[in-house]
């Protein structure tokens, strides 16, 4: 690819995929509210708030793809999530439509299905069961991607990102862990796979205990089971979202 735009480049996922995206794009445009510094030839940085399609068009004109990671990363009041996640995604998709960017990769989340029981293996075809307001915002993000694919012909890949950590931090993450290496692999695959149309995929490592079905394309390399002996065995969460699915996790944002 000639040019790829990466929004939310200063975040956790952005840091994990930045180097891999440099391998597939001659020019990588890094966008964030926070200041960034180019780290390699071909990188450009833009400090911006994605507050309108026009702002995104100015950044993304002529790009081959946009990887959209910017947004509110966890549970928050619904107005904040609507502005940061839903409206921000709309601005990116609308900018892609108007400026002719053919492909957009959207950061979705495993939290979109966090209220499924841990005993159920979930595929992208099953209905959403979000574990909180954050998960609800990601349902809307995926719906926007579907709309722009069906109505305007954009190629849209939604990656339901697992628990991105250097290694699993708790028992739930033995199922949900996404290693940095596998995270990069899923995003490169989302950019380079052919005949996308619209796809929703779980981005999770090859964990023995994983809750979610893996799809075609990139096959993850790491397994959280290698770390199981370091973590206490508490029987696992009843719901896939674990503590995120507890009422208290959302109630504090409903006052």
SS (H, E, C) 6-58: EECCCCHHHHHHHHHHHHHCCEEEEEECCCCCCCCCCEEEEECCCCCHHHHHH
| CATH of segment(s) 3-251 | 3.40.50.720
Nearest-Å Rg of the Cα atoms of the chain is 18
pLDDT at 101 over 90: yes
- Give percent of the chain with pLDDT exceeding 90: 97
Q: How high is the pLDDT of residue 241?
A: 98
105-119 tens-digit pLDDT: 999 999 999 999 999
DSSP string computed for 125-183: TSPP--SSHHHHHHHHHHHHHHHHHHHH--EEEEEEE-EE-SS--SSTHHHHEE-HHHH
For residue 235, what pLDDT is reported?
86
Give the C-alpha distances (Å, rounded to integers) separating 163 from 45, 145, 167, 223.
Answer: 27, 22, 9, 13
Could you give the count of Cα atoms lying within 13 Å of 134 in the half-sphere of its Cβ? 22
Cβ-contact 224, 209 below 8 angstroms: yes
Alpha carbon distance 35, 89 (integer Å): 21
Mapped onto helix, strand or coil, the DSSP state of residue 229 is helix
Say which DSSP state 85 is in: I
Residue 100, phi-psi category: left (phi > 0), alpha (psi -120 to 50), beta (remainder): left
Q: Average pLDDT, stretch 38-51?
A: 96
Chain-centroid distance of CA 191 in Å reads 13
Q: Residue 255: is its pLDDT beyond 90?
A: no
Q: How far apart are CA 141 and CA 244, in angstroms?
A: 19
Which residue matches tokens 């996790």?
Answer: 249
What's the whole-number mean pLDDT along residues 26-49? 96
Q: Which residues are catalytic?
A: 134
In whole numbers, what is the pLDDT of the chain averaged over residues? 97
Mean pLDDT of 138-159: 98
Task: Find the mean pLDDT for residues 123-145.
Answer: 98
pLDDT recorded at residue 234: 85
Query: What pTM was estimated for this model as a whole?
Result: 0.97
């Amino acid at each position: 690819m000639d040019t790829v735009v990466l929004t939310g480049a200063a975040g956790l996922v952005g840091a994990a995929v930045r180097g891999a995206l440099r391998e597939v794009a001659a020019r990588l445009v890094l966008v964030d509210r926070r200041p960034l510094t180019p780290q390699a030839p071909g990188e450009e940085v833009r400090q911006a708030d994605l507050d309108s399609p026009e702002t995104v068009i100015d950044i993304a004109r002529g790009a081959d793809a946009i990887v959209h990671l910017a947004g509110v990363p966890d549970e928050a009041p619904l107005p904040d999530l609507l502005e940061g996640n839903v409206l921000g995604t709309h601005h990116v998709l609308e900018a892609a439509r108007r400026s002719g960017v053919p492909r957009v990769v959207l950061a979705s989340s495993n939290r979109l299905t966090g209220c499924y029981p841990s005993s159920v293996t979930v595929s992208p075809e099953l209905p959403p069961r979000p574990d909180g307001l954050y998960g609800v915002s990601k349902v809307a993000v995926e719906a926007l991607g579907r709309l722009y694919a069906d109505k305007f012909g954009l190629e849209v890949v939604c990656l339901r990102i697992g628990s991105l950590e250097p290694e699993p931090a708790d028992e739930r993450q033995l199922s949900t862990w996404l290693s940095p290496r596998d995270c990069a692999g899923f995003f490169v695959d989302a950019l380079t796979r052919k005949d996308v149309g619209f796809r929703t995929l779980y981005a999770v490592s090859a964990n023995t205990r994983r809750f979610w079905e893996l799809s075609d394309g990139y096959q993850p390399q790491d397994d959280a089971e290698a770390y199981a002996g370091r973590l206490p065995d508490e029987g696992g969460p009843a719901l896939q979202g674990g503590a995120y699915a507890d009422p208290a996790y959302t109630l504090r944002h409903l006052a």
